[in-house]
Every structure is written in structure tokens, then in C-alpha cells.
Amino acid sequence: MDFNLIIKKGTVIDGTGMPRSTIDIGIKDDKIVSLDKHIPDSNCPTICAEEMIVTPGFIDIHSHSDFLWIAHPESTSKILDGVTTEICGNCGLSAFPLRGKVLERRSQGLAKYGIPITWQSAAEFYAMAENIHSSINRAFLVGHGNIRACAFEYEDRSPHPHEFHTMRKDLEEAMKAGAFGMSSGLIYPPGCYSTEDELSELCEVVGNYGGLYATHIRNEGDTLEEAIAEATRIANRSGAKLQISHLKTSGNRNWHKIKNIKMILEHAIDEGIDVTCDRYPYIAAATDLDAILPHWVYEGGTEKQIQRLKNTQVRKQIEEELSPVYDDNFWNGIVISSVYYDKNKWMEGKRISEIAMNLTTTPFDVVFNLLVEEDTRVDIFLFSMCEENLEKIISWDFVFIGSDSSVRAGHGILSGGKPHPRSYGTFSRVLGRFCREKNLLSEEKAIQKMTGLPAQKVGLDKRGLIKKGYFADITIFDPARIIDKSTYTEPHQYSEGIAYVIVNGQVTVRNGRHTGVTNGRILRKS
């Protein structure tokens, strides 16, 4: 048989969770066509993977590269971490649909990256995206927040019948265009204003298409159990597959809830609900600074939010509402990771408590003033989790690995700010620190959580396994060297130990360096 590429003498972990084996892999065009103990030498290109591990390309089930991949199609931070496929459109925020205020807001935010929004509908987005050559594959969810904001902006109420009709129409159009499901972000506007009934009715549409419902649940701390229970009820009522995003116990007063949430999730699984979760291997979250404010502050959109934050009486009301739970430890645990305007760049990488001390003001005033000055475009790290719970969650069989991050780069337009290190090192960190150093889980189990399981859950056709007839998305790494290098203070550092990455049969990383190949595809649900 003629091949375009042969991988020889590698230790193959195939993504099923089964034990490793030494197998040669023959690739023809974009597919794996041969798996054999020994493929005879030929004149075609050959990779010697001796003493290395050969796996399916990693699938980032929880990504936020919806827009920034357009500015950097090479997708360097992800491909050098072994990722060959991203699932974008999480936490209720997606690249489509875009109309009205949500379109206006997105256009303003993306201007500095040179990304013009030339589409509104899902179909228009897919048509645009398929004309851009990227290094990795991408699949998309449609954001509930987009659907709601397009129908009636950021109002704190339930939709009127004609508005719900518009929401349902946008959802169905997105699913027909190729979306793999719907996501929600129930701590962000406008998702935080939605009811369980609204979400259940929309998820019925998702379920009818065999789609996925991925949710940033309503609360990850004080009412964590109730939020998980709501998500499982929505899945049970609608028939949609459920993916709980970045599962965590946030805030030290909630760390003890780890046993309860495992029992709730295991009970749901026993009841026949198709529920799984994902998690990144870090103890700091990353979110918007205004996410720490009460939901009523967001109502009506950004302009009204800024007006409220300028009002002395409103500031006092917010402070009185939050002071009982936001103590010194809370402010010490929030680090500014990115701001929009140059005047406040000095704050990046500093804790809010530190900034307040430098400005001789209160943490609340730092938050209020910064949000006003930056038009609310402020990103933060929130150190609210513990390592012990992280290790437990990652080891659970129903928890996959996801970065919860966008593509970044160590150079060019995406090299600014201090992004979360998970943008660069999520998958290498699991394999280097949690598998090799801590022996928390086997490489077979870790690879399954990064490849076969997420591919099956999302519904990616012929991806996620080293299997004859499957697409040749393959990652080859040195198990003794693989490690993340990105840190909170110096984030723009690529992982080490990823030797080769093959995307749809083409070598995209060779000897740890990007080859410049852009052979990724836009994936659509069939």
C-alpha cells in the first residue's frame, strides 16, 4: 500500500483507555489507513517515534477561540500544546448570531485585533470561516447569551412569545448550519436572567438535533449543589446531552462540597442522564471583572451598567450588598490579567488589594473606577480553588480536560496582556505534572479524557481515536519531557515535549516547531 506518511516504532495510546502498544501507523491523504506491528520501509516520509508516545490529537472541549483564531490562524499556543481540535462557543458566548447591541459590542472589542465582523447568522459565519486556512480543526456551539441578546438585548425578564420564537429560530438555524449544540453562561448577562423553563425549552431543540448542552452553571460556590441539580434537570427534561463546564468548588467556604457534588453527578448518571464535565488543571479561574458584581448591575447592557457604576448611591448599595462576603482574602485572590486601554496597563499582573494600596483607595473603588474607565473590558484571575479538590475532580471518570481559553501567541497581536497560563499549557500540564510527576492518573486515562471521550460526547465523526479509517489527527510527545512552561506572571511561553502534531494527515509541528502548515478544517455536525 502507498502511504503519504508513516509513523514507526511509537508507543501508541489510542484514546480508548486501553493499554498502550507498539504499532506502526500508515497515513494516506487525511486518514489512518494502516495499523501494523511493522510497516515495511518505503520512500514516503517517515517519523521515527521510538521512545515517544503517539496519541490522537488532543481535543479542547472547552475553548474560547471563537474570534481570535481569525487574527492568528496558526493557532500557535494550542497546536504547540498538542491540540488538533477546539470546541468553541462556550459559556453562552459564541461567534453567531450577532445583531444589535451584541454585534456592536463585539465589533468594538475586536477592532484592536483587526477582526472585522462581516457576518450575522450562523450560516454566514460558517461561509466566512471555511475560507480561512487554520492550523487546527474547529467545531462550534451556539451561545444562549447570543440568542437571547439578539432577541431582546440585556433585559432582566423572560422573553415574550414573539421573542422566544426569534430565539428558537436562531437556535434552529445554528443547528442546521452545523453547530454541535448550545452553551449557556448563567453568571453572565443576559444568561443570568434566564429561567430553568426557558433553558429547558431551548434544549429540547438541541436534543432533537442530537446536540450538546454545555453550561457554565448558575453558581460555582455558595449554591453549587443547586446549580448542578438545575443543569441535570434541564438535561433530563430536554433530552440534550449535558456537559458541565469547568467543574469546581469556588471559595474556601465551599471546598467541603466536593463529596456532595460527586454524589449528585453520579446519581444523575445512574438515572440515565448523559452528563459529563470538563476541567482545566489550575486553581485560578479567569473571567470578567464585572462578574463579581450583582446581576442587577448588568441589566440593560453596558451603557446602563457604566451609568450605575458612576452613581455614588449605587456604588454604596453594591458595597453594602457584597461586603459581608468579599473580605481581604477575596481581594488578595483577584489579579488583573488584561485591560483594554494603555493608561491602565500597569495594573496587569497585580492584585486588586495591591492596586488599592498603591492608589490609597478601597478595593471596591478600584473595581468601580476600572470598569468605568475600561468600558467594562477587564479580565481577571480569581484564585478561589484548592489543589486537593482539583486533583480529585480531574481523576473522576466523567470529567474531561478543557482549557477554558482562547488561542494566544508569543508574538504579534495576540501576545499582549497576561492571559491565563491554560491558554498555553493545559494538556502538557496534565501529562507532565498530574501523570508523570504526581502519578494521579495513568497516561491512558488522561489521553482518553483528552481525545476519545470528548470526541464521542460532542459527536465528532471519525476523530479522537488512533483507528483505521479515522482522520489522521495525531500528537506525538516525549513522556519524559512534556511539561507546561506558561505561568501567571510570564504566560507567553510554549509547552515543551510535544515533538510532532499531525492535522488531517499533514505534519503541522515537527521537532517542536510549527511548520507553517494550515490544514485544519471547520467541522459541522452532520
Query: Can you tell me which residue has the cell 475586536?
Result: 110
Q: Please state, in angstroms and rounded to a whole number, the distance separating the CA atoms of residues 407 and 441.
A: 27
Rounded to two decimals, what is the model's pTM? 0.96
Name the residue among 510, 428, 406 with its Cα closest to residue 72.
406
How many C-beta neighbours within 10 Å does residue 133 have? 12
In this model, does residue 504 exceed pLDDT 90? yes
Q: pLDDT, tens digit, for every residue of 89-101?
A: 999 999 999 999 9
User: CA 456, 457, 460: angle at the middle one, nearest 5?
Assistant: 55
Instruction: Provide CB contacts within 8 A for 53, sequence distance 6+.
Output: 10, 11, 12, 13, 20, 443, 476, 477, 478, 479
Q: Provide the pLDDT for residue 42.
A: 86
Residue 147 exposed, middle or buried by CB count within 10 Å (0-12, 13-18, 19+): buried
Q: DSSP readout, 181-214?
A: EEEEETTSTTGGG--HHHHHHHHHHHHHTT-EEE
Q: Which three cell numbers stand for residue 381?
A: 484571575
Residue 442 exposed, middle or buried by CB count within 10 Å (0-12, 13-18, 19+): middle
Q: Provide the pLDDT for residue 350.
A: 95
Q: Provide the pLDDT for residue 1.
A: 77
Residue 160 exposed, middle or buried by CB count within 10 Å (0-12, 13-18, 19+): exposed
Q: pLDDT, tens digit, for every residue of 448-468?
A: 999 999 999 999 999 999 999
Q: Which CATH superfamily is domain 56-283+384-509 in?
A: Metal-dependent hydrolases (3.20.20.140)
Indicate the Cα dihedral angle 252, 254, 256, 259, nearest 10°.
Answer: -140
Question: How far is CA 252 from each of CA 142, 262, 274, 327, rounded to the nearest angstrom?
Answer: 33, 18, 30, 12
Query: Can you tell me which residue has the cell 458541565?
Result: 244
Q: Please state, in angstroms and rounded to a whole number, the distance separating the CA atoms of residues 288 and 285.
A: 10
> What's the half-sphere exposure (Cβ side, CA atoms, 13 Å) at 418?
16
Name the residue among 400, 382, 394 with its Cα closest to residue 453.
400
The backbone region for 392, taken as left when phi is positive above 0, alpha when psi lies in -120 to 50, beta otherwise, is alpha
Question: How far is CA 106 from each of CA 223, 278, 489, rounded to the nearest angstrom?
Answer: 31, 27, 28
Provide the residue ranges of all domains of the chain, joining segments of one domain with +.
56-283+384-509, 292-379
How many C-beta neighbours within 10 Å does residue 406 have? 22
Query: Can you tell me which residue has the cell 438535533?
Result: 209
- DSSP state letter for 253: G
Instruction: Provide CB contacts within 8 A for 88, sequence distance 6+.
Output: 63, 64, 65, 66, 69, 94, 95, 138, 139, 140, 141
Band of pLDDT at residue 506, cut at 50, 70 and 90? very high
Q: Provide the pLDDT for residue 107.
A: 96
Q: Please state, in angstroms and rounded to a whole number, the distance separating the CA atoms of residues 484 and 176.
A: 38
Chain mean pLDDT for the chain? 97
Q: What percent of the chain has pLDDT over 70?
A: 100
Look at strands 21-28 and 31-36 and give their pairing: antiparallel
In this model, does residue 220 exceed pLDDT 80? yes
Calculate mean pLDDT across residues 488-516.
98
CB 230 within 8 A of CB 218: yes
Q: Provide the pLDDT for residue 37.
A: 96
Residue 326 exposed, middle or buried by CB count within 10 Å (0-12, 13-18, 19+): middle
Q: pLDDT, tens digit, for every residue of 399-452?
A: 999 999 999 999 999 999 899 999 999 999 999 999 999 999 999 999 999 999
Provide the 3-class DSSP secondary structure of residue 232.
helix
Q: Provide the pLDDT for residue 388.
A: 98
Q: Provide the pLDDT for residue 13.
A: 98
Q: Provide the pLDDT for residue 41.
A: 87
Q: Provide the pLDDT for residue 73.
A: 98
Q: Which residues pair with 120 in a beta bridge?
A: none
Q: pLDDT, tens digit, for every residue of 108-155?
A: 999 999 999 999 999 999 999 999 999 999 999 999 999 999 999 999
Q: pLDDT, tens digit, for every residue of 30-84?
A: 999 999 999 998 899 999 999 999 999 999 999 999 999 999 999 999 999 999 9
Question: How far is CA 208 from each of CA 241, 244, 434, 486, rounded to the nearest angstrom?
Answer: 11, 20, 38, 41
CB 97 within 8 A of CB 146: yes
CA 103 distance to own-chain centroid: 21
Q: Provide the pLDDT for residue 486.
A: 98
Look at strands 21-28 and 5-12 and give their pairing: antiparallel
Q: Please state, in angstroms and rounded to a whole number, the distance separating the CA atoms of residues 88 and 146.
A: 14
